Chain A
Amino acid sequence: MSNSTSALLRPRFRFVKDGTRIKFMRGRFLGLAVSAFLSAASVGLFFYPGLSLGIDFKGGIVVEARTQGPADFAKIRAGLAAQHVTNAGLQRFGSADDVLIRLDAPAGKDAGSEAATQSLVDKVRAGVSQAQPGTQILRADAVGASVSSELFRNGLLALGISLLMILAYIWFRFEWEFAVSAVATLVLDITKTIGFLAITRFEFDLVMVAAILTVLGYSTNDKVVVYDRVRENLRKYRTMPLRELIDLSINETLNRTLGTSSTVFLAALPLALFGGHTLAGFAWVMLFGIVVGTSSSIFIAAPILLLLGEKRLRRDAQKPAPPRAKAK
């Protein structure tokens, strides 16, 4: 380095030393087995206890109120009962003054009635204000049944179409083995995220779909970088067995993989800690997804690629190469 550049401007740390050669593919069956187990367990959690659906997808009402002085649940319940509102779920969030009131869409003779759902929110407003005078309503949402089913459908549609487009894009830019192993891995990632939601009881709503899609985008990004190196090495080392070649590619990109995961992780961390309860669930899912997405690039996507491509990708590579087809 030229003497004019001060020591401050040199890099200080690296995650792994140059020339690191960890044999990741040795653990491929273990990785797949652990992933399969976690995903299967997540699917189990999806059915029992299941996701806690937010009002976006379930319909119903949510009111957040800030009382003057600590929230008195007994008083609030009485206030609600005076408005003929029963079955309200009360929950403290944030400080002792903040109370969250949750109600399902009306059942019985009013089931499916939009007007009944919408008038419920006014009753709750009135009930809380009477129970503890000076109460501020921070937020009051009411989602009718027709809207919630539509939002749910659109959410799933967005997820499904994204997966298909990612499949098509990777197929177009790489080979089908890459596309299939990437999407299979993404599906495994998503199931684990669902399991995470089921355990943590974060509400599954539109914002969560956004979080999952972001994780999906990030995770794909991560796999594309490894695949890109695999593709380049396939052309460069024409006789190297695919297993070694994938190991080499992962090792070569390891610093980048860990570096980018860290920056995205660092960016999402303050959201989880200081973003307020509206975004906390979103941010924790992001953090979980970053860890899962990064590890799945190495332990899931690469082994699946190895299984799918062991014969085919190498056979292609052994054909006479076109003159100086350079990786670009």
Chain B
Amino acid sequence: MMYYSRLKMGSVLAVCLIGLLLCLPNVFRMPGANLPWRQIHLGLDLRGGSYLLMRVDLDTLARGRLETLTDGVRQSLLKAGLGYRNLVADPKLGAVTFTPRSPAEHDRDLAILADLPAATPNEFAISTLADGRIAVTLSPGALRTRASDAVAQSIEIVRRRIDATGAVDPEITRQGDDRIVVQLPGISDPNRIKQLLGTTAKMTFHLVAEGVSPGGAAPPGVDMLPMQDDPKQLVPVMHHVDVDGADLTNARAGQDNQSGQWAIDFTLDSVGTRQFAEVTRDNLGKPFAIVLDNKVITAPVIRGVIPSGNGQITGNYTAQSATDLALLLRAGALPAPLEVIEQRSIGPTLGADSIRAGAISLGIGFLLVVGFMAVFYGLFGWYANLALVANLILIVAVLSLFQATLTLPGMAGMLLTLGMAVDANILINERIREEVQRGRTPLAAMQAGFERATSTIVDSNATALLAHVMLFVFGTGPVRGFALTITIGIVTTLFTTLLLSRMLMVRWYATTRPTILPV
């Protein structure tokens, strides 16, 4: 306890020195290209910016799959010349159900459905219900995989869309099963980004159903969709997708040559171009609808075969909205709608105010604690203060090493750590003082003081550690930053008090050999 080998002393000092070096990247620019120059990040609450928590609407995704499955069942039954009644998608069962035209066709129905294309192996099961209906049921496992893929794909598309806006250092992460966190430093009004992310941008091309009156109910396989520019006007659109707009290679905003209006020109890829050519060849003279997010943009009559795969979307677009839509089409459609469920944005002024308030509090708090220790514990108090400085350096070093995010509560955590850190020194000092009063020699008193205080220090810090680890696990945002700094602080405190300040006291004893201790 009272002897520090050269190696041990060297190690303790080396750790402090390394800590100091690790702090440097926060103060200086990187001098060379290949140095590990790791810095603490400032949280959004300090540098200003926006935080968006979004939920991927997985219900819609599941419903969408059920609808395409219904479409698939209908198409394959019709192709085989089989009849059906009451073909419906049942979202509760997660199944498509129908009644065969006659019991005699039942087995043929099953045989035809067995060849229904599945997106993944065993995506659905075919069964006969008690009342004679046939059910095509999506498996929960396949739905989960689809949902998980959809979230991953959404993150990719969100990233592409945000990158296209030129936002600096955006952070996009997955949270839980169906959530995406987007952090946008420096953007204090996230309105435009919210709009960009809130648009699914699913563009599809459908034939318009003929002989359906716009006022009446939609027959099976037909959707009544509103026009984008005039939501009251409904267009009967075939549910079947003839060409998918996801197959486009380029989209850009431009002005229409004749009208001068803003429009979006797009180019389909080879698959889309071929499909487009086929559809236009087979359906000359019929109206063909471009549908964007369940709204009909235009439904012109096909006047000739279009082999090029080029098209144009016109409407009431401004320069901004046309540019945005082109951006969205280029980045690709979201597999499911995204919904913002939490947003927090902080302007640059408040961030700067917070940094100043945090720094002032940290400075004053530090001085108060240092002053207290000096007045109440004298020389050993000053050693505790040296350890405190080392502690602060080490906390910053560890935060830099992890490239952790410093938040305003995190700064508060640092300050409270400083207040708690000297507890270990107080325990040791009080203990030494007691031992002196029991008549021990300075050497024996210091030895006993260190020894007895150690288990108390470990016990008391362990309980505090537990509380803050819990906070880190269950907390979010800035509060997590607080839990992180305190947790790191507890570990560095154990190092600086059990090793560093003790070493200073031992060295002092070894060099001065005092007859009375300053306690």
Chains A and B come from one and the same complex: yes
**Chain A residues with a Cβ under 8 A of chain B:** 1-2, 4-5, 8-14, 18, 64, 66, 114-115, 118, 121-122, 125, 136-144, 146-147, 151, 154-155, 157-158, 161-162, 165-166, 169-170, 173, 206-207, 209-210, 213-214, 216-218, 220-222, 224-225, 228, 232, 252-253, 255-256, 259-260, 262-271, 273-276, 278-279, 282-283, 286, 327-328
Contact A11 B461 (CB under 8 A): no
Cβ-neighbour of B464 out of A66, A155, A217, A274 (below 8 A): A217
For A157, list chain B residues within 8 Å (CB). 474
B293, chain A: closest CB distance, angstroms = 15
Is B133 among interface residues, defined by CB-CB distance under 8 A?
A: no
Is B518 among interface residues, defined by CB-CB distance under 8 A?
A: yes
* A-contacting residues, B391-430, CB 8 Å: 408-409, 412, 415-416, 418-420, 422-423, 426-427, 430
Not counting A161-B470, A207-B478, A255-B430, a sample of 18 additional A-B residue pairs whose C-beta atoms are within 8 angstroms of each other reads: A5-B514, A10-B518, A11-B518, A64-B350, A115-B340, A140-B343, A155-B474, A165-B467, A210-B483, A214-B416, A217-B464, A217-B468, A220-B460, A220-B464, A224-B456, A265-B419, A266-B365, A270-B365
Contact B345 A256 (CB under 8 A): no
Q: Considering only CB atoms, which chain B residue lies closest to A222 in the complex? A: B460
* A-contacting residues, B446-483, CB 8 Å: 451-452, 455-456, 459-468, 470-471, 473-479, 482-483
Cβ-neighbour of B191 out of A5, A122, A155 (below 8 A): A122
Q: Considering only CB atoms, which chain B residue lies closest to A272 in the complex? A: B361
Is B378 among interface residues, defined by CB-CB distance under 8 A?
A: yes
Q: What are 10 residue pairs bridging A and B, where the CB atoms are less than 8 Å apart in the complex?
A: A1-B516, A1-B517, A121-B343, A140-B189, A158-B473, A209-B471, A213-B471, A217-B467, A268-B416, A270-B365
Contact B412 A2 (CB under 8 A): no
Contact A169 B462 (CB under 8 A): yes
Q: Which of B63-71, B100-108, B216-224, B352-360 contacts A (4 or more CB under 8 A)?
A: B352-360
Considering the chains assembled together, what is the distance between the CA atoms of A207 and B378 in angstroms? 36
Question: Chain B, 366-377, contact with A by CB distance < 8 Å: what is the 0/1 string?
Answer: 001100110111
Q: A4-B512, A270-B361 are in contact. Are A218 and B464 (CB under 8 A)?
A: yes
For B340, list chain A residues within 8 Å (CB). 114-115, 118, 142, 144
Is B381 among interface residues, defined by CB-CB distance under 8 A?
A: yes
Which 9 pairs show the lowest CB-CB distances between chains A and B?
A267-B419, A217-B464, A158-B474, A9-B379, A276-B357, A217-B467, A264-B419, A1-B516, A266-B368
For A5, A140, A217, which residue has the most chain B Cβ atoms within 10 angstroms? Answer: A217
For A265, list chain B residues within 8 Å (CB). 419
For A232, list chain B residues within 8 Å (CB). 452
Is B194 among interface residues, defined by CB-CB distance under 8 A?
A: yes
Contact B475 A158 (CB under 8 A): yes
B485, chain A: closest CB distance, angstroms = 11
Is B120 among interface residues, defined by CB-CB distance under 8 A?
A: no
A159, chain B: closest CB distance, angstroms = 8
Considering the chains assembled together, what is the distance between the CA atoms of A263 and B427 in angstroms? 13
Considering the chains assembled together, what is the distance between the CA atoms of A269 and B382 in angstroms? 22
Cβ-neighbour of B430 out of A146, A210, A253, A270 (below 8 A): A253
For A2, list chain B residues within 8 Å (CB). 512-516
For A170, list chain B residues within 8 Å (CB). 463
B151, chain A: closest CB distance, angstroms = 16
Contact B416 A206 (CB under 8 A): no
Q: A260-B426, A274-B361 are in contact. Are A228 and B456 (CB under 8 A)?
A: yes
Contact A283 B476 (CB under 8 A): no
Considering the chains assembled together, what is the distance between the CA atoms of A220 and B466 in angstroms? 11
Contact A114 B339 (CB under 8 A): yes
Is B226 among interface residues, defined by CB-CB distance under 8 A?
A: no
Contact A9 B378 (CB under 8 A): yes
Q: A137-B189, A137-B347, A207-B409 are in contact. Are A147 and B364 (CB under 8 A)?
A: no
For A206, list chain B residues within 8 Å (CB). 475-477, 479
Contact A224 B459 (CB under 8 A): yes
Cβ-neighbour of A263 out of B55, B426, B452, B486 (below 8 A): B426
Contact A267 B368 (CB under 8 A): yes
B180, chain A: closest CB distance, angstroms = 13
